[in-house]
Amino acid sequence: METRRPENAQVASVIVEFKDRGCRDDVLKLAKEDLELGYPKELVALYAEAGWQMERSRKFSSIMRANSDGDLMQLLAGGGFNPYQMQLLANYYDKGVTVAQLSEVGSKNLTAYDMEQALKLVHQANREAEAVREKENPETEISQEEAAAIMEALRQREKELEEQQEISNKQASENAKLRAKVDNLEQQVKELEQEKEEYNSEKRSILEERDRFYQQNQMLLEEKNQLLAELEAGRKGEDEMGQALQGTGLNGSGDSNNCDFRIAVRGRNGQKDFVSMEKNARRRPEGIRVFAEKIFGRGGQDSGMIKQLTGKGLNPAQMEQVRMAVQAGLTGQEVKDLIDSGFSAEEMAQAVEIVLAEKAYQ
């Protein structure tokens, strides 16, 4: 291709035009060099205004500078070819393959390898056709058999090209299916990662909840132990009180077998009171009633509690445990069960502790 160097002003004007149309700076520099070398604006614009990457633009420029004609450059610009495919087409153009033949091969959307194989077949067919034409000169005659053989060879080459194209299309289809499978697997991996993250978040929440319950349980255990310690201390105090009751001295007059004696008991407000009782009073229901009235007061002579105590034969220590149970808040049925249990005073105290502990954890 013959070129004529333009004026600098002309180059500058075209460069401004290319820049206004979005040409990048690196491509713009290459276009400026081509314009200064005298290549026409129309050919340079094929890559300068196309938004190509630098590698593809540089390959187009190098082919243009190799004295390739405008039809070839139009084919290279409009075919969507990569740099390697551009060079293949340019090489076979130099070998005599026509632009029309190059366009036919390029329109099949082949890979670079398949394109090269197809161009080889076309080039070979052109050479064989040229040989046939030479044999058709008057100086040289060709037999019908030779002509038929050449035509058959051309048809065979064309058939091979079609088969290769079919194989290429099939491979492209398989590649598309594989790509779809890969995309599907990648999506599944993303979903699994999302599920894993959700599981880990839920797991952390469960562990935090478990730790919170563990701390609450520890606090409850500490409260339980403290309560049991307080109950144990109260039981010991009650044992001491029972022993004091049993060891109370007699204070009375008259017959030693029927004299009165005083018993130290705890009043409603926690104070210690002394109650006078006949020696054999605890064996008679009347004595139990009197004892209960002195312990619990006479405000409820006809109360259910007095009736429950009547006739049970409880000794003062057992009566004290009943009073403690009432004061501790046991229900009427629980107190009745305690009275009817037949427990000793010590066993009554333990039973009350168990009931209170059970209530504390309900």
> What confidence tens digit (pLDDT) does each residue in 151-194 have?
787 778 778 877 877 787 787 778 778 878 888 888 898 898 88
Domain assignment of residue 215, yes or no: no
Residue 102 has pLDDT above 90, yes or no: yes
Average pLDDT rounded to a whole number, residues 14-22:
92
What's the pLDDT at 296?
A: 52
Are residues 354 and 260 part of one domain? yes
In angstroms, the CA 176 to CA 158 distance is 27
Residue 292 has pLDDT above 80, yes or no: no
Residue 83 amino acid letter: P
Residue 235 has pLDDT above 70, yes or no: yes
Are residues 16 and 108 part of one domain? yes
CB 168 within 8 A of CB 109: no
**C-alpha torsion sign, points 296, 297, 298, 300:** negative
Q: Of 158, 176, 194, which residue constitutes the final position of a domain?
A: 176
Are residues 170 and 24 part of one domain? yes
Confidence of residue 326 (pLDDT cuts 50, 70, 90): very high
Backbone φ, ψ for residue 137 (5° rounding): -60, 150
Question: For residue 137, what are its two tokens?
Answer: 């000169």
Q: Of 151, 176, 201, which residue constitutes the final position of a domain?
A: 176
What's the pLDDT at 290?
A: 52
Average pLDDT rounded to a whole number, residues 321-350:
92
In angstroms, the CA 233 to CA 130 distance is 123
What's the pLDDT at 147?
A: 65
Average pLDDT rounded to a whole number, residues 241-247:
60
Residue 225 has pLDDT above 80, yes or no: yes
Are residues 13 and 100 part of one domain? yes
Domain assignment of residue 158, yes or no: yes
What's the pLDDT at 116?
A: 93
Are residues 152 and 249 part of one domain? no
Confidence of residue 210 (pLDDT cuts 50, 70, 90): confident
Domain assignment of residue 89, yes or no: yes
Q: Which of 143, 145, 79 is nearest to 108 (CA)?
A: 79
Please tell me the least confidently modeled range out of 32-46, 108-122, 216-230, 231-245: 231-245
Are residues 251 and 148 part of one domain? no
Domain assignment of residue 157, yes or no: yes
Q: What is the mean pLDDT of the chain?
A: 79
What's the pLDDT at 129?
A: 86
What's the pLDDT at 186?
A: 86
Domain assignment of residue 84, yes or no: yes
Residue 319 has pLDDT above 80, yes or no: yes
Domain assignment of residue 87, yes or no: yes
Are residues 257 and 164 part of one domain? no
Domain with 327, as residue range(s), is 244-360
Residue 265 has pLDDT above 70, yes or no: no
Are residues 150 and 251 part of one domain? no
Residue 9 has pLDDT above 60, yes or no: yes
Residue 85 has pLDDT above 90, yes or no: yes
Q: Which of 310, 317, 314, 308 is nearest to 266 (CA)?
A: 317
Are residues 139 and 56 part of one domain? yes
**C-alpha torsion sign, points 28, 34, 40, 46:** negative
Interhelix angle 70-78/83-94, rounded to 10 degrees, is 150
Confidence of residue 247 (pLDDT cuts 50, 70, 90): low
Residue 276 has pLDDT above 80, yes or no: no
Are residues 249 and 170 part of one domain? no
Q: Of 127, 148, 176, which residue constitutes the final position of a domain?
A: 176
Q: How many domains does the structure of the chain reveal?
A: 2
Average pLDDT rounded to a whole number, residues 200-227:
84
Are residues 54 and 168 part of one domain? yes
What's the pLDDT at 137?
A: 62
Candidate ranges 77-86, 245-254, 306-315; pick with highest mean pLDDT: 77-86
Domain assignment of residue 33, yes or no: yes
Confidence of residue 144 (pLDDT cuts 50, 70, 90): low
Please tell me the least confidently modeled range out of 125-139, 177-191, 259-273, 303-317: 259-273
Backbone φ, ψ for residue 35 (5° rounding): -65, -40
Are residues 258 and 119 part of one domain? no
In angstroms, the CA 81 to CA 77 distance is 8
Domain assignment of residue 345, yes or no: yes
Residue 250 has pLDDT above 70, yes or no: no
